[in-house]
Amino acid sequence: MRNLRKSPSNRFKIFLIFRVSRFLFILFLLYSCQSVEFIPDIVYREDLIRTHKQSWKEIEILKEAPRRREYEVYGRILIRNFGDGKTDKYYYDQIRKELFDRGMDGMFLAAKGIVSMPPTLFQSGTANGYSANFAELPQEARVLEGIAFRYKEPDSDGKTSR
């Protein structure tokens, strides 16, 4: 009768493939990571502020400050990207939804830069309990800063107010 057990070399190959695939998955996950943070400049009650837009799809994301209408700044939006620096359409949609929920009319990009982060260190262990460095990835985050704004409403006398 044939031996149904796997040989040690086959078990090692399967183990090695599993470890490498897990490492590649984590590497891909870190490479495509992004975060979005809203920092309000002033204290305001979100339930009292209503956007002038009918849908989140109408929220404006501009490359520079609006020139045709007066606006008021309500906060900053920081977009951190740990990957290739491109912000996907999915994140723009999420930003639009967040701005709509907070009563904003849009945002414009104010600054961009690169911030150094501590390196990510992957370690693996041996059967004897020793740890060995598996990989060390230096990390940089590309940061976009946006300014969240709301258009000022004209009063009956033609002046603008909050």
pLDDT digits (tens, 9 = 90+) for 62-120: 999 998 889 888 889 888 877 665 666 777 888 888 888 888 889 998 888 877 777 76
pLDDT digits (tens, 9 = 90+) for 129-151: 777 666 666 677 788 889 999 88
pLDDT of residue 86: 64
Q: Which of 58, 45, 68, 41 is nearest to 149 (CA)?
A: 41
pLDDT of residue 107: 92
